[in-house]
Structure 1
Amino acid sequence: MTQRIDDYALIGDLQTAALVGRDGSIDWLCLPRFDSAACFAALLGDENNGHWRVAPKGATTCSSRRYAEDSLVLETVWETRTGSVKVVDFMPQRDKAPDVVRIVEGVSGTVEMSAVLRLRFDYGSIVPWVRRADDHRVAVAGPDSVWLRSEPPVKTWGQQFATCSSFTVGAGDKVAFVLTWHPSHEPRPELVDPFDALEQSLADWRAWAARCTYRGPYRDTVVRSLITLKALTYAPTGGIVAAPTTSLPEELGGVRNWDYRACWLRDSSLTLGALLSAGYVDEA
């Protein structure tokens, strides 16, 4: 890991979550659930443990980022010498299969973009077999299968056991990447429209945030904290994980090293208290 843990932003679909760094790289993602083995685990090692980076070619750190108002949709802005670009990252609340959507939108000028997808299943220990099928890149490793597509299609190639792509966006251009997981023995799940999914995700989160009954000081900060707590909820059961990560020591070289992807009673009770005080009785 080359970034501080507090440099990561959280996206999720109420069944799992991903961490996105300031360099545009998703360095942590467990599929299909919070407690599944990670397919991106650079958080615990380096890029060889799996990551997915989408950023302007040659850029190292974004110019700014924020969540779209009252949502878990992350917007990252890059200012370059030739123009500016925005990358929108989110996970739609799933119907059946989990999806990660990354939409690259040109803001001004032209920007040459680079994308590197390095899938490593089982916390970085398994390199998948990758093939082309139906305008997708398909990665399979035992029980896991991941499908990657872009809209519109962009040129992709394999390099050092990673799927790479390069493309240029101008003002108003949009290129969407969709990463979908499903069990490898089942047929490919139904495709989601990334742009429709974005509008639906924004509407879902804003509708949930609007239920907040708190009207005191720093309401925006309170709502943002509540959204984060909601993102840690496992929708099928209502269980609330303490955190989406594991194996991060309390201090470097220390022995206090826990798996927080579980419903710890103390943490859950504190979370429920916060949700109840803001009017979220259904969650309790």
Structure 2
Amino acid sequence: MRPATTPLPAADHGLIGDGHEWALVGRDGSIRHMSVSQDGDALVVDDQSFVITVEHLHGSRQYYLPDTNVLVTEMHGPAGVVEVTDAFTVRPPADRIGEPPVPRGELLRYLRVLEGHVTLCVESTFHVITDRQLGAPITVAAGEDLWFLLRWNDSCPPFPPERLIDDTAAAWRRWTDAITYQGPHDHMVRRSALLLQGISRSGSAEAAAAFHAIGLVDEADGGDNAFRSQPFEPLREGHCALVRYGYLLVENLLGQGLVEQADMLYEALSATANSLGLHGERTNPATGRILDCFPAPATHVAAISSAVALTKAAR
């Protein structure tokens, strides 16, 4: 079987995560960058892959289930449409609003054929749990579904895939219910918060301050640090910070009383994110293409902080 996909531009990916593990999912259904926690350490996987794509792929789009880190990739083939729902599953939502989701230690890829029929190319260098035979194309028709599960925690009992997706989405929404920000940049603030919570809770004072500003306080950590676990480094930050500096300039303009200019700059910066609302650190000003450092946590921290500052200045 031919290789299912070739590497995609950075912006053609969404990110899923549970606060301990993360993965980049391409618009072609490929996962080529992933990090999992083992014995308290982060293992970044760049030399293995988990690809689920449509043979003769015609087009695709990605979107998140609202207020979650559950990603849907819809792919169109010559004779049908399939959607792949990807998530690092978490336990059912806690009683307290704002409680961070608790990981189950597994990656679920759940597929449904929406119309027609499709032939799927499935390739995985990982040991995947599934009820299908891998190694050959799989043809499925409208109304059929299938799932693939990658687990590294045997303490959680298995559940039907639909329930796992529903529980995971509900847990994320329970967490985002605590966000108090109300303003014109709500989508960017919420997506930034979900990104930061999904990838890690490292000891970033700036990120913790941004979370406090929108009502997200990790009481289990004394309220002083909204992040724990490993730092995020799928594509290293540090050498390119142009978009983040733009958001910092928004706050500088506000300090000079230039509210209208600051708001216009924020809108222009938001437009450099990909279709999912995820930022890189650097874009090509001529084409708008995200060049590297994707996704960029520090940029999303600055996006939250400057959005809060804009809303306060407009009162």
- TM-score bracket relative to the smaller structure: 0.5 to 0.7
What residue in structure 2 maps to residue 11 of structure 1?
Answer: 16
> Which structure: larger Rg?
2
Asked if the contact 2:88–2:107 (Cα under 8 Å) also holds between the matched residues in 1, the reply is yes
What residue in structure 1 maps to residue 71 of structure 2?
Answer: 74
Q: Does residue 239 of the first structure (1) align with residue 206 of the second (2)?
A: no
Amino acid at match of 1:169: V
What's the CA shift string for 1:233-277, capped at 9, x where partnerless? Answer: 3499732765341557847xxxxxxxx9xxx9xx59x57x849x6
Asked if the contact 1:87–1:104 (Cα under 8 Å) also holds between the matched residues in 2, the reply is yes
| In structure 1, C-alpha distance between the alignment counterparts of 2:158 and 2:151, rounded to whole Å | 9
| In structure 1, C-alpha distance between the alignment counterparts of 2:67 and 2:236, rounded to whole Å | 30
Asked if the contact 2:48–2:125 (Cα under 8 Å) also holds between the matched residues in 1, the reply is yes
* Correspondence 1:1-284 to 2 at 5 A: 2-32=7-37, 35-39=41-45, 41=46, 49-59=47-57, 62-93=59-90, 98-119=105-126, 139=127, 148-150=128-130, 153-156=131-134, 164-182=135-153, 190-234=157-201, 238-239=227-228, 243-246=232-235, 250=239, 274=305
TM-score by length of 2: 0.59
| In structure 2, C-alpha distance between the alignment counterparts of 1:89 and 1:10, rounded to whole Å | 10
**What percent identity do the matched residue pairs reach?**
23
Question: 1:227 offset after TM fit, Å?
Answer: 1.1
What's the CA shift string for 1:64-91, capped at 9, x where partnerless? Answer: 1111111111111112221111111111
Deviates more, 1:63-72 or 1:206-215: 206-215
Asked if the contact 2:54–2:75 (Cα under 8 Å) also holds between the matched residues in 1, the reply is yes
What residue in structure 2 maps to residue 256 of structure 1?
Answer: none
**1:62 to 1:205, Cα distance in 2 relative to 1, 3 A:** farther
Structure with higher strand content: 1
TM-score by length of 1: 0.65
Question: 1:53 offset after TM fit, Å?
Answer: 0.4
Amino acid at match of 2:60: S
Question: 1:114 offset after TM fit, Å?
Answer: 1.5
| In structure 2, C-alpha distance between the alignment counterparts of 1:62 and 1:117, rounded to whole Å | 22
What's the CA shift string for 1:3-50, capped at 9, x where partnerless? Answer: 2222221101111111111221111112225952234x1xxxxxxx21
What's the CA shift string for 1:198-240, capped at 9, x where partnerless? Answer: 0001101112222211111131222111111221334997327
Structure with higher helix content: 2
Gaps of 5+ in 1: 42-48, 120-138, 140-147, 157-163, 252-259, 279-284
Gaps of 5+ in 2: 1-5, 92-101, 202-217, 222-226, 241-292, 310-315
Pairwise CA RMSD: 3.5
| In structure 2, C-alpha distance between the alignment counterparts of 1:54 and 1:115, rounded to whole Å | 5
| In structure 1, C-alpha distance between the alignment counterparts of 2:143 and 2:238, rounded to whole Å | 43
